[in-house]
Amino acid sequence: MTRYTGVTSSNGYYVFADVTETSVNSANNTSTVHIDLYLGNGNNRALGWNSTGSINIDTAPSVQTKSITKSLFNTSTSYNSSVFVDSADFTVTHNFDGSKSLYFICDFQNTTQSNSYNVPYVSVNGYFALTNFSRPPQAPAAPTITRTGDGTTVTITSAVAADATGVNPKASVTAVTKGSVSTVYTVANTSSIGDQITISGSNPSGYNATAALITARTPTTITIAKNTSALSSYVSGGIVEFLPPTITDYKYRWSTTGTGSWTEVTGMGTSRTQDFGPTSPVTVSGTQVYYFQTAAINSEGSSPWSANGIAYAAPSITSITKNGTSATVTVTPASSDGGSTVTFYTVEYSIDQSTWVGGQSIFGASGGSTTFTSLPAGKTYYFRAYATNAIPVNSPYQYNLSTGSTASIYISAYGKRYATSGAITNITTSGGDITYTSSNSFSANDTVTITGVTPSQYNLTNATIKSATSTQFVITNSATGTIQNPKTGTASGWATITTAKRLESVVSYTSFGTVTKLYADSSETNIARYYSATANTVNIGDIVTVTGISSPYSASNTSNATVTNVQNQGDGWYFEIFGTSDNTNGIVNVSGTYYVGANPFDTKWVTISSAQKYTNGAWTSFN
């Protein structure tokens, strides 16, 4: 009920009307309106005898009227009060699209006596909006939410909404203009281009249409694409049923709680898909759960909101610790599980942040730790984790520690040595880094324990070294406070062996053969001849090493000597070396080996990829 009050007359009288929509009938597209009319008397009394008036309601295109004749004779009305005059009920037809705003006027005037106490002409009028039978779409089902990667981008896809249900408005055709491409129907309407209509009951029936699109319109005509040029002229009939308007857009709203305050975002379009994040409309956090609802829009309004679609949040990797070639990863839950309890967490690792392996599980909603063992050394390992809830739906991945640093750790490529004499001689701080001056053997990624520093917040346990030289190392830490003199302490921990080597033999000769005879002439100083069945393959200038000739001729063994002559003596081939001789005189039988090539059995230090220890008959890696 809505009360409307008219203007007070010069002698204090006025009328007011209470207007109520008492019933609605969507099938007939009508409403019933009830109006009660009252007379107020201000500081005077109603002394009139017979009075007349009317209650008029403009129901466009017609006006409905109720006339009033009211006797107020001997009506006892106190000052500043009112008296009921009359009431009226009207049935009002809505516009074809379900809307209706009616105009009414009520007036009242004394018709039998005239004096200063009688009722003059008074009236009240106004506009009253009836229930709108508009046909917005039905609510879509809960949207599909896709959240991958680190969870900072969420893709929202609305379900397809169905058209409105209920009675469609209808209007009568009064004339038709036929054509070969389009046909124009004369019919009162407030439709929109693109809306669908069905036409039935036309004479002839060829003017009927099913689910045709309106291509043009005026307030009194609609046009559809229909060839009626071959039909006989329109005679009569034809009812246009205006089907629910086409859905032209979708929208969504989002919340971090799923209840209470929502933020609406329009313009998804008929593709029904839109990205949320990473920075628009807000900066999205991978560890925050988000709730989404969608709605469809047509020319008559917006549908109700859908049920929630949930973007589940990622857990957090809060710590990674290493022990030799093992790494332990600790995972904690997200701030919210979105209403579905997490059943387990999955942790994976990668060495290139592209290919991920591992897939170790942590069961239960509260999170926990899992350990990866026997990781190949000498590499940086990156870790990520995601949660799986009871539906089951996976959360996005969490790549980062809660501190913001990369969730990675370096597994040392070599063994370790314990640094026991890392005396700290000075400490400085800058931008969240602490620099400790100390002669040390530490490298980046080593862990170190600091003791003996005042104040104690600069004493650290198993802290990871950010960078290091032979005289300083740096640790990222947010400790603050004045460091007391002397700025000293002790640094101890396992330092990485950055280079490991082993001594290897290098075989580099090009050919070899057996020495069977030795000839040394006492008259030829420092010349030795070595007989061999393959001596003819040796060339003057070759570098030769001879080994294996035993005593008393062992002095004829030589290393890296130059061949000065090669000759066939008649009893066999020999090669000759100047500067080598023995106490023999003539040819003697020996057994030895010659090798052609410089340094045939050299040794050198070779860098190895991992230090090893010999245990129980086998080489194994250090832990």
Q: Give the CATH architecture of domain 144-162+248-311.
A: Sandwich (2.60)
Using CA atoms in the order 611, 615, 618, 621, what is the torsion angle rounded to 10 degrees?
Answer: -30
- Distance of alpha carbon 42 from alpha carbon 14, whole angstroms: 8
- Using CA atoms, how far residue 442 sits from 176, 413, 488, in Å, is 95, 14, 18
Q: If phi over 0 gives left and psi between -120 and 50 gives alpha, with beta otherwise, what is residue 516? A: alpha
> Please, which pLDDT band fits residue 251 given cuts at 50, 70 and 90?
very high
Higher pLDDT, 501 or 300: 300
Is CATH 2.40.30 correct for 509-598? yes
Contacts of 404 by beta carbon, 8 Å cutoff, 6+ apart: none
Is 191 within 8 Å of 139 (Cβ atoms)?
Answer: no
Query: Mean pLDDT, to the nearest integer, of 89-110?
Result: 83
Tell me how far the alpha carbon of residue 95 is from its chain's centroid. Answer: 47
- Distance of alpha carbon 396 from alpha carbon 419, whole angstroms: 42
CA angle 383, 608, 499 (to 5 degrees): 75
| Residue 315: cis peptide before it, omega within 30 degrees of 0 | no
Q: What is the pLDDT of residues 501-523, one digit of tens each?
A: 555 666 778 889 999 998 876 66
> Please, which pLDDT band fits residue 180 given cuts at 50, 70 and 90?
very high
- Distance of alpha carbon 200 from alpha carbon 240, whole angstroms: 7
* Phi, psi angle pair for 487, to nearest 5°: -80, 75
- Distance of alpha carbon 588 from alpha carbon 234, whole angstroms: 138
| Residue 152 clears pLDDT 60, i.e. is over it | yes
| Residue 605 clears pLDDT 70, i.e. is over it | no
> Please, which pLDDT band fits residue 402 given cuts at 50, 70 and 90?
very low
- Distance of alpha carbon 495 from alpha carbon 417, whole angstroms: 6
Contacts of 315 by beta carbon, 8 Å cutoff, 6+ apart: 287, 331, 332, 333, 334, 342, 345, 367, 385, 386, 387, 395, 398
The proportion of the chain whose per-residue pLDDT surpasses 90, expressed as a percent, equals: 36
| Residue 208 clears pLDDT 90, i.e. is over it | yes
Label each residue of 237-291 as H, E or C: EEEEEECCCCCCEEEEEEECCCCCCCEEECCCCCCCEEEECCCCCCCCCCCCCEE
Going by their DSSP bridges, the two strands 309-311 and 316-323 should be labelled as unpaired
Pick from 207-221, 367-381, 478-492, 585-599 the range whose average pLDDT is largest. Answer: 207-221
Q: What is the pLDDT of residues 307-359, one digit of tens each?
A: 999 998 888 888 888 877 788 999 999 878 888 899 999 999 988 878 888 88
Higher pLDDT, 311 or 109: 311
Q: Which fold has domain 316-411?
A: Immunoglobulin-like (2.60.40)
Q: If phi over 0 gives left and psi between -120 and 50 gives alpha, with beta otherwise, what is residue 387? A: beta
- Distance of alpha carbon 224 from alpha carbon 195, whole angstroms: 10
> Please, which pLDDT band fits residue 306 given cuts at 50, 70 and 90?
very high
Query: Looking at 198-207, 474-483, 536-545, 607-616, which range is the least confident one?
Result: 607-616
* Per-residue pLDDT, 233: 93
Q: What is the mean pLDDT of the chain?
A: 83
Query: Looking at 36-50, 193-207, 212-226, 604-618, which range is the least confident one?
Result: 604-618
Is 101 within 8 Å of 129 (Cβ atoms)?
Answer: yes
Please give the class, per CATH, of domain 170-242: mainly beta
* Per-residue pLDDT, 608: 56
* Phi, psi angle pair for 554, to nearest 5°: -65, -20
* Per-residue pLDDT, 544: 93
Higher pLDDT, 114 or 557: 557
- Distance of alpha carbon 487 from alpha carbon 471, whole angstroms: 15
| Residue 385 clears pLDDT 70, i.e. is over it | yes
Structure tokens at 44: 């005077």
* Per-residue pLDDT, 272: 95
| Residue 44 clears pLDDT 70, i.e. is over it | no
From the options 3.40.50.10860, 3.10.20.30, 2.60.40.1470, 3.30.1360.70, give the CATH code of 2-129. Answer: 2.60.40.1470
